[in-house]
């Protein structure tokens, strides 16, 4: 810790940060920028005096998003604290905590009730750790990743032989992957990486190619899970459930699961397998679609082959704009929703807000926890340089194990006025509706298609299972989906 405190802080320019995609040696601590340190310290101290129960890094995130305005951050936080944000407990990660050396202990702050208090050093014990304009904060250790992002990382997850064998199997499979096509300003463009969906049974293959729809069309690239994908899924299932329970105990408010997070065991029954061939292949900032996973989905993401950077940034409220920046939008292939076309690009937003980079080496399992898709966006950044992997060369394979929930089967979900499957979204940008879920016309997210304007607030029970307001359709009852392991 002393070393951390006395170490000369690095100032990172945008270019030096971006160029360090594959650092020769991972630092043992995060490397935040330190510019504007004193004024930020004082502002954070003021916010801490107003919101003593909140974690310092969350206060910093909010402060940065409010362009350094304590007043704006304070009013934003007042709403968040009363609306039950999961981040009420302070993180306890020792490795991420640094003593604060520069905070003035003579700063006078005005509390909410108008009383004037002297701040003591004890108010600010942690070294500020936040993402800042134009910068990327690199995290390496599992402790830092758990403390500052909604993720858990497990390095060396599988026995080496099993990880290598799965990599070989999936490299062979990747011959069948295809680029995802999407519409961009009336042009059809292709995603900068390839992918395929893997499912458990022939019956589910049928359903995923003729019942589940994405952007108004059926997915054509669906394949049966390979033996390797199935056997690894059991280990992923165990590890993810363990990580979820630990997260609930150690991080969530009162040690309770989030409202609408399922209390059932997480049982993966489908997996997207992605291949990034070379440093330029990437996936843009997005959050994963809730439509068939339901609210607060948990995802187990296994990385194999070349190490790449997984970047994350928070979705912040944007009061000045209308509330169309929902999460749950699969704009991952770079597809802008109509709303984002004429606004700042994802990259520009990440630049303005700063971002966190999690390095994903071969054989690492990243658990994206229940708050991830609603509150954060993620991406795989293009790399300037990569270190070739002995088995895969320049390629990285990623498997995202997912649990498609029976209750969100397309036979159950609402239809738009245009007859198509409505999509489930979570409102994020406006204070009044932040965190509310809605069913909407899918076409609002497909450039060039006319939305039928279908809109319905989504109702769920505490477990996040839908409470339908529409009459059951005269279709066959939705079948129970099969877990990967159970279908062997």
Ligand X SMILES: O=C(O)CCC(=O)C(=O)O
Positions in the binding site for ligand X (CB under 6 A)? 272, 274, 283, 288, 301, 310, 332, 378, 380, 398, 400
SS3 (DSSP) at 372: helix
Q: Token digits for 256?
A: 């309770």
Measure the CA–CA gap between 335 and 107, rounded to whole angstroms: 47
Is the CB of 57 or the CB of 281 nearer to ligand X? 281
Which residue, 32 or 228, has its beta carbon nearer to ligand X? 228
CB closer to ligand X, 119 vs 302: 302
* Count of all residues that appear for the chain in the document: 488
- Distance, CA of 107 to CA of 200 (rounded, Å): 61
In the complex with Fe ion, the residue whose CB is nearer, 51 or 285, is 285
Which of ligand X, Fe ion, none does 301 bind, CB closer than 5 to 8 A by kind?
ligand X
Phi, psi of 72 (to 5 degrees): -65, -40
With respect to ligand X, which residue has the nearer C-beta, 274 or 487? 274
CB 451 within 8 A of CB 441: yes
Among 204, 288, 289, 371, interactor with Fe ion by CB under 5 A: 288
Instruction: Identify the burial level of 38 via C-beta atoms within 10 angstroms of its C-beta, where 0-12 means exposed, 13-18 middle and 19 or more buried.
Output: exposed
Residue 313 binding: pick among ligand X, Fe ion, none (C-beta 5-8 Å cut-off by kind): none
According to CB under 5 A, which residues from 427 to 466 bind Fe ion? none
Residue closer to ligand X, measured from CB, 55 or 377: 377
> Residue 380: which of Fe ion, ligand X, none does it interact with, CB under 5 to 8 A by kind?
ligand X
Tokens 């959050």 sit on residue: 287
Q: Which is nearer to Fe ion, 55 or 193 (CB)?
A: 193
What whole-number distance in Å separates Cα of residue 262 and Cα of residue 294?
9
Residue 274's binding partner, choosing from Fe ion, ligand X, none, with beta-carbon cut-off 5 to 8 A by kind?
ligand X
CB of 57 or CB of 289, closer to Fe ion: 289
> What are the b/e assignments for 434-463, b being 16+ CB within 10 Å?
bbebbbbbbbbbbbebebbebeeebebeeb
Which of the listed partners (ligand X, Fe ion, none) does 272 bind, with a CB threshold of 5 to 8 Å by partner kind? ligand X
- As measured in angstroms, the least distance from the Cβ of 288 to Fe ion is 4
Do residues 368 and 313 lie in contact, with contact meaning Cβ atoms separated by under 8 Å?
no
Selection from Fe ion, ligand X, none that 398 binds (CB < 5 to 8 A by kind) is: ligand X
Helices 56-65, 70-82: crossing angle, 10 deg rounding: 120
> Least CB distance from residue 378 to ligand X, whole Å?
6
SS3 assignment, position 57: helix
Least distance (Å) between residue 397 CB and ligand X: 9
For residue 216, count CB atoms less than 10 angstroms from its CB and return exposed for 0-12, middle for 13-18, buried for 19 or more. Answer: middle
The partner in contact with residue 237, picked from Fe ion, ligand X, none with C-beta cut-offs of 5 to 8 angstroms by kind, is: none
Residues 349-388 as x/- pattern, contact with Fe ion by CB under 5 A:
----------------------------------------
Is residue 331 at the binding interface for Fe ion, with CB under 5 A as the rule? no
- Of all residues in the shown chain, the one whose CB is closest to ligand X is 398
Nearest-angstrom CA–CA distance, 198 and 172:
14
Q: Which residues bind Fe ion (CB under 5 A)?
A: 288
């Amino acid at each position: 810790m002393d070393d951390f405190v006395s170490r000369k802080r690095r100032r990172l320019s945008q270019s030096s940060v971006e160029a360090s995609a594959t650092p020769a040696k991972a630092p043992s601590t995060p490397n935040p920028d330190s510019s504007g340190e004193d004024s930020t310290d004082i502002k954070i101290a003021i916010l801490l005096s107003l919101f003593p129960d909140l974690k310092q890094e969350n206060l910093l995130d909010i402060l940065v998003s409010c362009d350094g305005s304590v007043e704006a951050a304070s009013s934003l936080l007042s709403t968040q604290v009363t609306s039950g944000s999961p981040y009420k407990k302070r993180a306890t990660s020792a490795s991420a905590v640094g003593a604060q050396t520069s905070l003035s202990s003579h700063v006078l702050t005005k509390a909410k009730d108008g009383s004037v208090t002297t701040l003591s050093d004890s108010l600010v014990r942690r070294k500020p750790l936040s993402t800042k304009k134009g910068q990327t904060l690199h995290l390496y250790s599992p402790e830092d990743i758990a403390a500052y992002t909604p993720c858990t990382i497990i390095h060396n997850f599988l026995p080496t032989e099993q990880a290598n064998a799965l990599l070989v199997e999936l490299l062979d499979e990747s011959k069948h992957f295809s680029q995802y096509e999407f519409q961009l300003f009336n042009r059809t463009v292709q995603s900068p990486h390839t992918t395929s969906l893997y499912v458990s049974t022939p019956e589910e293959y049928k359903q995923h190619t003729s019942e589940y729809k994405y952007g108004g069309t059926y997915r054509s690239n669906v394949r049966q899970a390979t033996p390797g994908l199935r056997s690894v899924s059991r280990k992923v299932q165990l590890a993810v459930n363990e990580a979820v329970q630990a997260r609930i105990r150690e991080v969530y408010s009162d040690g309770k699961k989030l409202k609408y997070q399922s209390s059932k065991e997480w049982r993966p029954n489908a997996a997207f397998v992605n291949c990034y061939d070379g440093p330029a292949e990437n996936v843009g900032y997005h959050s994963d679609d809730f439509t068939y996973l339901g609210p607060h989905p948990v995802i187990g993401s296994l990385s194999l082959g070349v190490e790449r950077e997984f970047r994350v940034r928070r979705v912040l409220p944007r009061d000045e704009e209308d509330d169309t920046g929902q999460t749950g939008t699969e704009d991952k292939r770079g597809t802008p929703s109509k709303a984002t076309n004429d606004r700042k690009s994802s990259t520009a937003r990440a630049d303005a807000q700063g971002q966190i980079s999690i390095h994903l080496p071969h054989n690492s399992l990243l658990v994206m926890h229940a708050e991830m898709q609603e509150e954060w966006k993620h991406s795989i950044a293009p790399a300037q340089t990569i270190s070739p992997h002995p088995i895969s060369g320049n390629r990285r394979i990623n498997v995202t194990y997912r649990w498609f929930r029976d209750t969100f089967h397309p036979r159950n979900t609402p239809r738009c006025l245009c007859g198509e499957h409505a999509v489930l979204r979570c409102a994020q940008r406006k204070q009044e509706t932040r965190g509310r879920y809605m069913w909407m016309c899918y076409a609002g997210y497909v450039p060039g298609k006319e939305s039928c304007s279908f809109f319905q607030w989504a109702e769920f029970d505490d477990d996040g299972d839908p409470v339908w307001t529409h009459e059951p359709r005269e279709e066959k009852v939705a079948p129970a989906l099969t877990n990967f392991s159970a279908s062997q």
